[in-house]
Amino acid sequence: MTDTTTRALRLGTRRSKLAMAQSGQIAEAVRELTGRPVELVEITTYGDTSREHLAQIGGTGVFVTALRDALLRDEVDFAVHSLKDLPTTQPEDLVLAAIPVREDPRDALIARDGLTFEQLADGARIGTGSPRRMAQLNAWARTLGKRIETVPIRGNIDTRIGFVENGELDAVVLAAAGLTRIGRIDEATQLLSPDVVLPAPGQGALAIECAAVNADLAAKLAELDDPDTRAAVTAERSLLAALEAGCSAPVGALADLQADEQAVTELHLRGVVGTTDGSTLVHLSTTGHAPASPDDVSTPQDLGRELAAEMLAKGAAGLMGERAL
């Protein structure tokens, strides 16, 4: 019989270059933490094989369901997800054991000739698979007095950057965190300020998940958790859940913990919902108390729900319906 305290831990991961890179980083951290070897188990998800745009297939859970099924069948011991891909409702038989320190949550522009967004010509074609990005990029272009064409694209990071390299598109917008994790962040021609483009809820953060029955492993993995990151993304995901919006909805959110000289005192949350053509945005923010302890999830959850209620009162619900991309 295999000694379960010394056998290799099986880490379930998607097969993409980005997923393998971020899972490899977590694997190394878990090796150092547990003293046990960790092997990557590659799993193909529906989102990896479908050629439909995410807005068409719903987005919610398409990259995580197969990984979660593998956990429940005991084919892997734990899984690593991009947190922004996780549905906001957590299954009772799975536990979100750790959310490590977050990478840069911003979006990044990769444009031809090293251009910034402001420098792109009128009518520039910008690729993104995200209705959230489309809404905010189109709105930003309007404030600059120009028109852009947002082009829906799929594919991995290399494929998306290739659209710019071959001249098919003038620019693409990707998550800065993903570019950093695969070593291509230097190719970004501009990091987009959250003041003009809010990221997806949870963007830049990773989620380490395991079966609830595997309590000892969950407790060990919890040592990789970063309380500040968890508080921020909890507020963002609470906003998303209260808006009853899925991963592919045109919703952006970003929470920041703010400190005085002694300690973290406040949690600031910004949210945006908009039509994909950028003609209408509901963009609001709020500030509340910081969580009283690392275990306090109710405070950031309440902040997210409060801001969602304000956004709904301003007409956010009517902006989340699908429009032609």
Report how far apart, in Å, the C-alpha atoms of 196 and of each of 33, 166, 217 are. 39, 28, 41
Strand runs (DSSP E) across the chain, as ranges?
9-13, 38-42, 78-82, 94-98, 107-111, 124-127, 148-151, 171-175, 190-192, 206-211, 251-259, 264-274, 281-289
Residue entry with tokens 């492993």:
217
CA quadruple 294, 235, 21, 100: dihedral, nearest 10? -10
Q: How many residues does the chain have?
A: 325
Kindly write down the DSSP assignment for every residue of 15-47, as one continuous string: SSHHHHHHHHHHHHHHHHHHSS-EEEEE---HH
Which candidate, 88, 61, 123, 106, places its Cα nearest to that of 242? 88
Amino acid letter, 236:
E
Q: What is the DSSP letter of 168?
A: S
User: CA 267 to CA 263: how far, in whole Å?
Assistant: 12
Residues forming the active site: 84-85, 132-133, 154, 160, 247
**Strand-pair category, 94-98 with 281-289:** unpaired
DSSP letter string, 122-154: TTEEEE-S-HHHHHHHHHHHHHTT--EEEE---
Residues 149 and 122: their CA atoms lie apart, in Å, by 9
Q: Which residues pair with 150 in a beta bridge?
A: 126
Q: SS3 for 255?
A: strand
